[in-house]
Structure 1
Amino acid sequence: MPTFRFNFFGHDDSQYQKEENEEIKWYESEEIIPNKQLKELDNIVVHAKMFTCDEVEIGHVNNSDKIFMSGDCQLNALELAEKEHSDLVAGKYEGGLKVWECTSDLIKYLVEHHGSINFNQAQVLDLGCGVGILGIYALLNGSFVTFQDYNKEIIECATMPSVLLNIEEELRANEIKKCKFYSGDWKSFNEKLDDSKVYDIIVSSETIYNEKNYDKLVSLFLKRLSKQGIIYIAAKTCYFGVGGGLRQFEAHVEKTGLLNSEVVWKSSGGVQREILKIKRIIT
């Protein structure tokens, strides 16, 4: 069973900083079609576990199971992370198999504000989706969802199966058509999408730890957020040893002069966590 060192709580993360100081060749974005996942889902169901948050229950692939080390789902990125004893290997593996705790924060927020956040028929982007908890929640509430994560293996072996697990068997072939799946770097992903493609809701959890990616992320927001669209970013206030944090990201958003950010939720204890709501400034 793979074991990792999760270093967002003040522990040394010099390996990640060392990699960040080197020039990184980021992976190009590509769209991935869920063909084999539809055929192989019966073999994956037995490896599933349940994400629970209040009344929300979402099935997802169990990231500790040996299914990831066999067959067509060999996760080379995961093996690299295990070798480096870290959940982040810059430009190689960006932590897509862990369901980060801020995901629960954002699910709770979305449930509590269900009456004012309309997912029905909305175009939703789950950015840095990992196993896809946030996007699956949107899908189950009537949205058309684009799932994006850095590693192709994560999309193929974790995101797609997790999405399919939450769709009734007789509906899978049609419902999966409401989803798109992309891997790769944010800049490349932004360039790959059709110029007209915009989203009503963008959700993302624990993706702002690397300040060097802020330009890419904000550029994507400016191009892909619909006029009345809303972005929800769930993150720790500060990522010790990595460099990023919500105050730095807020400043990056605000300096565009085109986006407005607002903290709409804060944790009450432990490691400080927040949810940031971002909208266009309409003039």
Structure 2
Amino acid sequence: MSTFKFNFLDNTDNEETEDKCEEIKWFECEEIIPDKQINDLDNIVVHAKMFVCEDIEIGHLSSCDKLFSSGDYELNALELADKEHSDLIAGKYEGGLKVWECTSDIIKYLLENTDINFKGAKVLDLGCGVGILGIYALQNDSIVTFQDYNKEIIECVTIPSVLLNIENEQREEVIKKCKFYSGDWASFDKKLPDTAVYDIILTSETIYNEKNYEKLTNIFLNRLSKDGSAYVAAKTCYFGVGGGMRQFETHIQKTGLINSEVAWKSTGGIQREILKIKRI
């Protein structure tokens, strides 16, 4: 699989792109049941890579075109992303194959802040990609919901990555603590039962598109438990695609129902932050 990058645009292209974004038909939410993937694990494990952060090691897949090309899975979005050499094709592919830099930031933050209690907590890994954050929560005795935009990512990358990190004899029991969903955030929010709330919501590099801020904020409004916290890890500014932390903070403040604080900020290099979001 090729190395991907965001498509950076000049001002002329921005206007045309904004017009096209109005026409996007976002994918409807689907719940994905982890069944077929278990039978493929022997073939998958030899292709796994290792995410390493401090003392944390999590096995995962980062490419699946050769592993899952049997016809049981559709790989349309991933083939398009490979062809376009891009991490982002709005409404088609939303970067789920890549382990983004801010994922390490949030893992380090969680390791340093031991007062964040995962044991028995209901956790949502929103825009999960390969599922590093959710797998970390699962390893710390949480009940985890994994959500990503592309169905192919959930089927061919997220679920296999989760399974790779569970001992064989525990696989059937532990996987019951997980749920998997694909699709647009607004559709996902509607799909969940009214009673589905989360103690911890983790999301990394998901605020690059300002047009999705209302959907993301609604997830926090509707799905955070009374005393729950959401942690949003992202670059301070996403040049070329419009989003950033200050814009997102402004959107949160407008709700009047949740607030945010900068819980962590990088020093040097490309500026990155973690926002902590709670109910007022």
> For the superposition of Structure 1 and Structure 2, which TM-score range results when normalised by the shorter chain?
over 0.9
Question: Normalised by the size of structure 2, how large is the TM-score?
Answer: 0.94
Corresponding residue for residue 248 of structure 2: 249
Q: For 1:13 and 1:101, how far apart are their aligned partners in 2?
A: 25
Q: For 1:160 and 1:93, how far apart are their aligned partners in 2?
A: 18
Q: For 1:72 and 1:269, how far apart are their aligned partners in 2?
A: 45
Query: For the structure 1 residues 65 and 26, does the alpha-carbon distance in structure 2 shift closer, same or farther, using more than 3 Å as the test?
Result: closer
Q: For 2:43 and 2:255, how far apart are their aligned partners in 1?
A: 48
Corresponding residue for residue 46 of structure 1: 46
User: Any conservation in 2 of the 1:67–1:73 contact (CA below 8 Å)?
Assistant: no
Corresponding residue for residue 258 of structure 1: 257
Question: Normalised by the size of structure 1, how large is the TM-score?
Answer: 0.93
Corresponding residue for residue 21 of structure 1: 19
Query: For the structure 1 residues 252 and 51, does the alpha-carbon distance in structure 2 shift closer, same or farther, using more than 3 Å as the test?
Result: same
Corresponding residue for residue 224 of structure 1: 223
Corresponding residue for residue 58 of structure 1: 58
Q: For 1:38 and 1:197, how far apart are their aligned partners in 2?
A: 27
Q: For 1:95 and 1:258, how far apart are their aligned partners in 2?
A: 30
Corresponding residue for residue 151 of structure 1: 150
User: Any conservation in 2 of the 1:16–1:89 contact (CA below 8 Å)?
Assistant: no
Following superposition, the deviation at residue 70 of structure 1 comes to: 5.1
Q: For 1:13 and 1:128, how far apart are their aligned partners in 2?
A: 27
Following superposition, the deviation at residue 85 of structure 1 comes to: 2.4
Following superposition, the deviation at residue 81 of structure 1 comes to: 1.2
Q: Once the two structures are aligned, what percentage of the paired residues are identical?
A: 73
Give matches, 1:59-74, under 5 Å: 59-63=59-63, 66-69=66-69, 72-74=72-74
Following superposition, the deviation at residue 260 of structure 1 comes to: 1.1
Corresponding residue for residue 103 of structure 1: 103
Give matches, 1:232-243, under 5 Å: 232-243=231-242
Q: Which runs of 5+ in 1 are unaligned?
A: none
Give matches, 1:76-155, under 5 Å: 76-114=76-114, 116-155=115-154
Corresponding residue for residue 3 of structure 1: 3
Secondary structure of the 1:79 match is: helix
Query: For the structure 1 residues 231 and 13, does the alpha-carbon distance in structure 2 shift closer, same or farther, using more than 3 Å as the test?
Result: farther
Secondary structure of the 2:230 match is: strand
Residue identity matched to 2:190 = E
User: Any conservation in 2 of the 1:17–1:242 contact (CA below 8 Å)?
Assistant: no
User: Any conservation in 1 of the 2:62–2:130 contact (CA below 8 Å)?
Assistant: no
Q: For 1:16 and 1:182, how far apart are their aligned partners in 2?
A: 31
Following superposition, the deviation at residue 82 of structure 1 comes to: 2.0
Corresponding residue for residue 173 of structure 2: 174
After the TM superposition, which of the residue ranges 36-45 and 90-99 deviates more from structure 2? 36-45
Residue identity matched to 1:261 = S
Following superposition, the deviation at residue 231 of structure 1 comes to: 0.3
Following superposition, the deviation at residue 266 of structure 1 comes to: 0.6
Residue identity matched to 2:218 = S
Following superposition, the deviation at residue 20 of structure 1 comes to: 4.4
Following superposition, the deviation at residue 63 of structure 1 comes to: 2.2
Following superposition, the deviation at residue 225 of structure 1 comes to: 0.3
Residue identity matched to 1:29 = C
Following superposition, the deviation at residue 40 of structure 1 comes to: 1.4
Q: For 2:73 and 2:275, how far apart are their aligned partners in 1?
A: 34
Residue identity matched to 2:51 = F
Q: Which runs of 5+ in 2 are unaligned?
A: none
Residues 139-160 of structure 1: per-residue CA shift (max 9 Å, x gap): 0000000000000000000000
User: Any conservation in 1 of the 2:62–2:98 contact (CA below 8 Å)?
Assistant: no
